[in-house]
């Protein structure tokens, strides 16, 4: 009985081995692609275009005030009104200045008669030279006083120095105002200034040359800097800008340099001083590039020899390969790549620690990329 059971087990095992040996080995399934977040390395003409928040200001503005004191008699405009050069804006009560003018006129007339008579008398020797000089001095003094009285009377009327819009009125009619007291703000809104603040790091990368013969050419290049502006509710419409001026002293608080552009006021919608905008500037022609690129810190890994490298995507095969890079400064979660990348490459930002040479990957969906995976290191 024992012999029969042993023979049965032997035959069963032997049959299993023969079946296993005769069966063809099935190929292993290829490893699943790992989803990764992709980052495109800065580089090329498209990367030379930078965007900056901007504010709008009037290209020409003035704080209007009277040059003499008095009581407001008439306000001829309201806030928001458009005025042309020379239009009346406000008028002071001219009564006191008219009286002064009449008095100065009488004084001048008397001094003029005495001076004319003195010319005749000095010829005949009937008056001394001292008396004649005194008559002439009185004449000149009264003439200057009369001229000033006429001007003071003219100054009781405020007229627009240029075409523009009344932005603000600071007084009410019949109020007493002082000389040089601001009573109106006038802005020329036919042309607008668009102002951005340029960071110090970007200013340093703009070419500068101390050679006098190259300076004018450099200034001309900057003035041709391509730039355009868009506004919040018209983000799809862009308006060309021209450089007006570039500050050479940094703001004490922000350490940025103010750059002012100018543009014509849009005709199909309203843009007013004080509004915000977005400015795009193409620095391709003036930025000096030293080969440095900036990528997220977590995109850079260290190999077994602690040499930094990144995983570069082959978009045709959707595989990754390791590439050694040289690194520099770090700033706000980004690291400078000083060598190893040309710009425009697609590298792995999230998921890099779990990759191997030649591994297949898939791109995370945009929604998925917005939030790093829990198992990805920071």
- For 77-102, what is each residue's pLDDT tens digit? 999 999 999 999 999 999 999 999 99
Matching residue, tokens 């340099």: 257
pLDDT for 377 = 43
* pLDDT bucket at 43, cuts 50 / 70 / 90: low
* pLDDT bucket at 311, cuts 50 / 70 / 90: very high
The predicted model gives 148-177 an average pLDDT of 95
Please say whether the beta carbons of 312 and 335 come within 8 A: no
What's the pTM? Answer: 0.56
What's the Cα-to-Cα distance from 49 to each of 41, 119, 227, 255, rounded to whole Å? 14, 78, 9, 21
Helix axes 95-124, 129-154, angle to 10 degrees: 160
Tell which residue, 234, 271, 238, has the closest CA to residue 51: 238
* Chain centroid, CA 91 distance in Å: 40
Is the pLDDT at 10 greater than 50? The verdict is: no
CATH no. of 34-44+291-369: 2.40.420.20
Is the pLDDT at 122 greater than 50? The verdict is: yes
Mapping DSSP to helix (H, G, I), strand (E, B) and coil, where does residue 359 land? Answer: coil
CATH topology of domain 94-155: Helix Hairpins (1.10.287)
Bridge partners of 166?
A: 186
107's tokens: 């004084």
Map out the domains of the chain as residue ranges. 34-44+291-369, 48-59+191-282, 94-155
Q: How far apart are CA 75 and CA 229, in angstroms?
A: 37
Of the two residues 253 and 162, the one the predictor is more confident about is: 162
CATH number for 48-59+191-282 (one of 2.60.120.10, 2.40.30.170, 1.10.150.20, 3.40.50.300): it is 2.40.30.170
The predicted model gives 45-71 an average pLDDT of 86
pLDDT for 271 = 87
42's tokens: 């800065």
Lowest mean pLDDT among 133-147, 154-168, 198-212: 198-212
Which 8-state DSSP code applies to residue 287? B
Mapping DSSP to helix (H, G, I), strand (E, B) and coil, where does residue 130 land? Answer: helix
pLDDT for 223 = 60
Please say whether the beta carbons of 192 and 244 come within 8 A: no
**Phi, psi of 133, rounded to the nearest 5 degrees:** -60, -35
The H or E element spanning position 152 is helix 129-154
39's tokens: 């980052």
* pLDDT bucket at 220, cuts 50 / 70 / 90: low
Tell which residue, 164, 214, 205, has the closest CA to residue 184: 164
Q: How far apart are CA 265 and CA 277, in angstroms?
A: 13
What's the Cα-to-Cα distance from 374 to each of 58, 297, 310, 315, rounded to whole Å? 51, 17, 21, 25
Which 8-state DSSP code applies to residue 129? H
pLDDT digits (tens, 9 = 90+) for 243-294: 888 888 888 887 888 999 999 988 888 888 889 999 988 877 666 555 567 8
- In the predicted model, what is the mean pLDDT of the chain? 81
Bridge partners of 188?
A: 60
Mapping DSSP to helix (H, G, I), strand (E, B) and coil, where does residue 126 land? Answer: coil
Tell me the chain's radius of gyration from C-alpha atoms: 41
């Amino acid at each position: 009985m024992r012999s029969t059971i042993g023979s049965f087990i032997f035959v069963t095992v032997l049959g299993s081995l023969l079946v296993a040996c005769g069966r063809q080995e099935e190929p292993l399934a290829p490893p699943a692609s790992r989803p990764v977040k992709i980052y495109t390395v800065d580089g090329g003409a498209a990367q030379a275009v930078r965007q900056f928040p901007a504010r709008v200001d009037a290209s020409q503005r003035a704080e209007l005030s009277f040059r003499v004191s008095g009581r407001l008699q008439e306000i001829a405009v309201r806030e928001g009104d458009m005025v042309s050069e020379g239009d009346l804006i406000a008028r002071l009560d001219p009564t006191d200045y008219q009286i002064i003018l009449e008095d100065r006129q009488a004084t001048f007339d008397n001094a003029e008669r005495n001076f004319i008579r003195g010319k005749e008398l000095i010829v005949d020797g009937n008056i001394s030279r001292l008396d004649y000089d005194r008559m002439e001095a009185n004449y000149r003094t009264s003439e200057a006083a009369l001229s000033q009285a006429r001007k003071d009377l003219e100054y009781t009327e405020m007229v627009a120095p240029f075409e523009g819009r009344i932005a603000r009125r600071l007084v009410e009619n019949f109020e007493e105002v002082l000389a040089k007291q601001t009573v109106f703000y006038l802005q020329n809104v036919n042309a607008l200034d668009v102002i951005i603040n340029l960071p110090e790091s970007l200013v340093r990368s703009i070419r500068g040359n101390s050679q006098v013969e190259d300076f004018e050419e450099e200034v001309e290049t900057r003035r041709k800097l391509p730039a355009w502006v868009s506004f919040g509710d018209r983000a799809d419409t862009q308006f060309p800008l021209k450089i007006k001026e570039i500050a050479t002293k940094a703001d004490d608080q922000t350490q940025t340099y103010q750059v002012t552009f100018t543009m014509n006021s849009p005709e199909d919608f309203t843009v007013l001083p004080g509004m915000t905008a977005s400015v795009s500037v193409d620095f391709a022609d003036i930025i000096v590039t030293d080969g440095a690129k900036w990528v997220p810190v977590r995109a850079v890994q260290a190999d077994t020899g602690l040499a930094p490298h990144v995983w570069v995507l082959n978009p045709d095969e959707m595989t990754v390969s390791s590439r050694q890079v040289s690194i520099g400064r770090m700033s706000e979660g980004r690291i400078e790549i000083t060598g190893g990348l040309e710009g425009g490459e697609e590298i792995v930002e999230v998921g890099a620690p779990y990759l191997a040479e030649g591994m297949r990957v898939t791109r995370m969906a945009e929604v998925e990329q917005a939030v790093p995976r829990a198992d990805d290191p920071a």
